[in-house]
Structure 1
Amino acid sequence: MDDSIEIYDLRGLNCPLPVLKARKRLAGLTQGARLWLETTDPLAVLDIPAFCTEAGHLLVETVALDGAHRFLIERGR
Structure 2
Amino acid sequence: MARLVDDETGTEHYDLRGLKCPLPVLKTKKRMAPLAGGTRIWVETTDPLAVVDIPHFCSEFGHRLLETQTVDGGHRFLIEKTG
TM superposition score normalised by structure 2: 0.88
- Give the deviation of 1:3 after TM superposition: 3.5
Using the alignment, how far apart are the partners of 2:72 and 2:8 within structure 1?
A: 19
Does structure 1 residue 36 correspond to structure 2 residue 42?
yes
Name the counterpart of 2:11: 5
Distance (Å, rounded) in 2 between the aligned partners of 1:37 and 1:29: 14
- Equivalent in the alignment of 2:24: 18
Q: 1:74 to 1:45 in 2, by over 3 A?
A: same
Structure 1 equivalent of residue 68 of structure 2: 62
Q: TM-score, normalised by structure 1?
A: 0.94
Question: Could you tell me which of 22, 33, 57 is aligned with 1:51?
Answer: 57
Q: Deviations over 1:29-64 (max 9, x none)?
A: 100000000000000000000000001100000010
Aligned length: 77
* Alignment root-mean-square deviation, CA: 1.4
List gaps (5 residues or longer) in structure 2. 1-6
Which stretches in structure 1 are left out of the alignment for 5+ residues?
none
Percent identity, aligned pairs only, is 62
